[in-house]
Amino acid sequence: MPARPGAVLGVLSLAAFMASLDLFIVNVATAPDRRARAVRIWAATGALASAAGPVLGGLLVAASWRWVFVINLPIGILTVVIAARIVPSVVSDRGGRVPDLVGAATLAVGIGALALGLVQGPEWGWASAGVVTAFVVAVGGLVVVVQRCRTHPVPVLQIALLRVRALAWSNVTSLVFSIAFAASLLTLVLWLQQVWGYSALRTGLAVAPGPLMVPIFAAVGQRLSRRVPVGVLAAAGCVLLGAGAVLVLLSVTTTPNYAAGVLPGWLVGAVGVGLALPTILGSATLDLPADRAATGSAVVNVGRQVGSVLGISMLVVLLGTPDAGSALPPFQRVWWATTGYAGLAGLAALGMTPRSSR
């Protein structure tokens, strides 16, 4: 059954809204000296959910694909009830002023146009009117957003915050790292289902060991951060993510062999995610004053979401529509690209160590 565009956009909009609020609440409701640890716990909790989600989703799909959507209703109600009881009330530092809604909408349109151009380029042709128009809209939207950020009293992004070294480099690292991470995750799912013919449940079980490693090594990263600069720690995690992709592409074949072909590289990459992602998000706001910490966390979270969009777009471009018999070379291209972006993220991470105490 084809999805209704309005319903899909509504779900994605709500998910983006929640993704920006949860990190905002964590930063505002936590004392500055405990904020980095709280963000690590937040990231580790998300990783556990990522491990459980594919498995539970596979079970639901095995019963009926409709349950994937129905299950959200009781979970949503339960979440609202629990949040109303235990989540502290926080007030934004905007002072009651209306944010730049036009700038936010322009940013969303620009990112969407960029993703559209990248995804449809191979099919429409890179010089076609549709793709060129999409890229022109993307560039024009970016110019408009930057101009409005300079002039609007409550901009989407406070340009002055990017002068803070830790935040600026954390945002760059978050964006590039998320390109690699999103592409890596979706590539594995597509390989298992489309090439090896795994069911939804079996795919979920195969993916689960990776996210389960993340909270473990988030805790390891917390201990290491007392001795190792956070930039070096995040860079090491990025390198491990890339190394995991290389290990998979060198080991995997079209003949199913999960234990030797996929699992070792997947676990190595997951160790890298556990070291890098909580460190990137946790150190981004350490050099910001308390009244700007929430805004800074929103900035780095936007970079993370944009990186995920670009990573999936890159995957679509590089992968195309291969058949099972000739699938290995296109997937290898994606894994090599993932390695490259992970390496770039590692270089950017070296600049993100904050001046304040770890």
Give the pLDDT of residue 184.
92
| pLDDT tens-digit map of 172-210 | 999 999 999 989 988 999 999 989 999 888 998 899 898
Query: CB-based contacts of 77: which residues, under 8 Å, 6+ apart?
Result: none
Of 274, 176, 287, 292, nearest to 225 by C-alpha is 274
Give the pLDDT of residue 67.
84
3-state secondary structure labels for all residues of the chain: CCCCHHHHHHHHHHHHHHHHHHHHHHHHCCCHHHHHHHHHHHHHHHHHHHHHHHHHHHHHHHHCCCHHHHCHHHHHHHHHHHHHHHCCCCCCCCCCCCCCHHHHHHHHHHHHHHHHHHHHHHHHCCCCHHHHHHHHHHHHHHHHHHHHHHHCCCCCCCHHHHHCHHHHHHHHHHHHHHHHHHHHHHHHHHHHHHHCCCCHHHHHHHHCHHHHHHHHHHHHHHHHCCCCCHHHHHHHHHHHHHHHHHHHHHHCCCCCCHHHHCHHHHHHHHHHHHHHHHHHHHHCCCCCCHHHHHHHHHHHHHHHHHHHHHHHHHHHHHHCCCCHHHCHHHHHHHHHHHHHHHHHHHHHHCCCCCCCCC
Which residues of the chain fall below pLDDT 70? 1-25, 27-29, 32, 35-36, 47-48, 50-51, 89-97, 289-291, 293-294, 324-325, 354-358
Give the pLDDT of residue 356.
53
Give the pLDDT of residue 51.
61
Give the pLDDT of residue 237.
95
Give the pLDDT of residue 335.
95
Give the pLDDT of residue 6.
38
Indicate whether this model's pTM tops 0.75.
yes
